[in-house]
Amino acid sequence: MIAIRIENLVKNFGKTTALDRLTFRIEAGELFFLLGPSGCGKTTLLRNIAGFIIPDEGKIFFGDDDVTRLPPHKRNTGMMFQSYALWPHLTVAKNVSFGLEERRVPSPELKKRVEAALESVQMGAYAERKIAQLSGGQQQRVALARALVIRPKCLLLDEPLSNLDARLRLEMRTEIRRVCKEFGLTAIYVTHDQKEALSISDRMAILEGGRIAQIGTPEEVYRRPHTRIVADFIGETNFIPSKIVSLEGSRVRVSTDFGDFEGNLSDPDWKPNVADEATVSIRPEAWKLTGEGAATNSIRGRIGESVYLGEVAQYRFTAGSQLLKIFELNPRPSARATDRDLYANVHSDDVVILRR
């Protein structure tokens, strides 16, 4: 297990800057996710770490070793691709053993390591099957075994579950975390799937325009986004224009068209002043619908459209000419009244104040 350090990494493609002076550290044994909209630079970053792309500036360290210009096969990384990249004409065992054969591992040792790798992903009984005889989830397990069998310093995953159905994605993301922790691997995982990242990552980086918008644990990024981009990309939220009324440390009071709100600044680099414009961000599930309002953090309105999804009901809450998204967890059988006023209240800890 190794720590990975990225220092002032720059990569340009013509006039387009794909990576703009990235600097951060991934701890040894950490399952670290890279997320962001298409074109943000996450796959380019992963391929720089793998050695498939050489940066224009900056350095990449595996532990204390500078690997910036080392070819991929000398970095000893395991790679899982979106397409699996398995050879259909070979058996499962032959697919897994390919990397060991390239490294000229002696046959007895090769056989032992292939068997151990397949057992680790619960595919030991399928060693002699052809790839075409396997389901999508089984093929993904084979791809994981092939990445593990070389005993890599780190595991790199490029949207590995995007071709699987929802049930298999849920099963395999849990399996990937189990294997990474069992083997003590440092892993870097690129995905578009927010639930995937929130459920199994130790930390995540949100990229935007080749730069890092925020790094943190799943809870930190979800509950305390630093920017509108992060708040909007991870989960759903309500944005409300506001103006700062008072400041006391990270605690802030703002005025809005709905009344006053109290909340918290989440971006440590933002030092606003009274009367500055800001944006209030409140997650849909943070609201509580009641018959009584409060002095602050309360909006009066009515339920419009609603969608019942079993574990959650989603409401469009109308307040004057404005609409809010409100999610009620574990909704009761009785439908919310749509012909009377209700109050949507929210705790100040769930109110995030962002730059306008």
Q: Assign 248 to helix, strand or coil.
A: strand
Average pLDDT over residues 221-250: 94
Query: Letter for the amino acid at 336?
Result: R
Which of 21-30, 212-221, 301-310 bottoms out in mean pLDDT, i.e. has the lowest? 301-310
- Chain center to CA of 208: 13
* pLDDT for the residue 172: 83
CA 186 to chain centre: 16
CATH number at residue 103: 3.40.50.300
252 and 186 share a domain?
no
**Average pLDDT, integer, range 285-307:** 91
Instruction: Calculate Rg over the CA atoms of the chain.
Output: 24
pLDDT on residue 217 = 97
Q: Within a domain: residue 230?
A: no
Range 304-330 burial, b when 16+ CB lie within 10 A, else e: eebeeeeeebbbebebeeeebbbbbee
Residue 296, token pair as written in the block: 């602050």
In this prediction, residue 250 carries a pLDDT of 84
Each residue's pLDDT tens digit, 27-85:
999 999 999 988 899 999 999 999 999 999 999 999 999 999 999 988 989 888 877 78
DSSP per residue, 259-327:
EEEEEEE--TT----TT-EEEEEE-GGG-EEESS--SSSEEEEEEEEEEE-SSEEEEEEEETTEEEEEE
CA 310, chain centre distance (Å): 25
Where do the H-state alpha helices sit in 124-186?
136-149, 166-183
Provide the domain limits for residue 267: 236-355
- Does residue 289 surpass a pLDDT of 60? yes
Each residue of 108-124: pLDDT tens digit?
999 999 999 999 888 99
Buried b (16+ CB within 10 A) or exposed e, 194-215: bebbbebbbbbbbbbebebbbb
Look at 144 and 4; give whichever has higher pLDDT.
4
Q: Binning pLDDT at 50, 70 and 90, where does residue 92 land?
A: very high
Confirm whether 336 is domain-assigned. Answer: yes
Q: Identify whether residues 261 and 347 lie together within a single domain.
A: yes
Same domain, 97 and 18: yes
Q: Strand 259-265 to strand 352-355: parallel, antiparallel, or no bridges (unpaired)?
A: parallel
Regarding whether 147 and 25 lie in a shared domain, the answer is: yes
SS3 35: strand
Residue 310 and residue 278 share a domain: yes
Query: Do residues 189 and 34 lie in contact, with contact meaning Cβ atoms separated by under 8 Å?
Result: yes
Q: Is 60 exceeded by the pLDDT of residue 178?
A: yes
Give the pLDDT of residue 38: 87
Amino acid at position 159, single letter: E
Domain match, 261 and 324 both: yes
CATH number where 282 lies = 2.40.50.140
Domain check: are 41 and 116 in the same one?
yes
In this structure, the answer to whether residues 211 and 252 fall within a common structural domain is no
Residues 318, 20: Cα–Cα separation, whole Å: 42
pLDDT value of position 219: 97
| Pair (157, 22) in one structural domain | yes
**246 and 252 in contact (C-beta within 8 Å)?**
yes
Using the predicted structure, report yes or no on whether residue 161 has a pLDDT greater than 90.
no
How many distinct structural domains can be found in the chain? 2
Residues 213 and 75 in one domain: yes
Residue finishing a domain among 158, 190, 223: 223
Asked whether residue 14 falls in the same domain as residue 150, the answer is yes
Looking at the fold, whether 293 and 168 belong to one and the same domain comes out as no
Asked if the structure places residue 53 within a domain, the reply is yes
User: Does residue 242 have a pLDDT over 60?
Assistant: yes
**For residue 198, is it within any domain?**
yes
Q: Cβ distance 136 to 160 under 8 Å?
A: no
Residue where a domain stops, chosen among 180, 195, 223:
223
pLDDT tens digits, residue range 305-346? 889 898 999 999 999 888 999 999 988 766 566 778 899 999
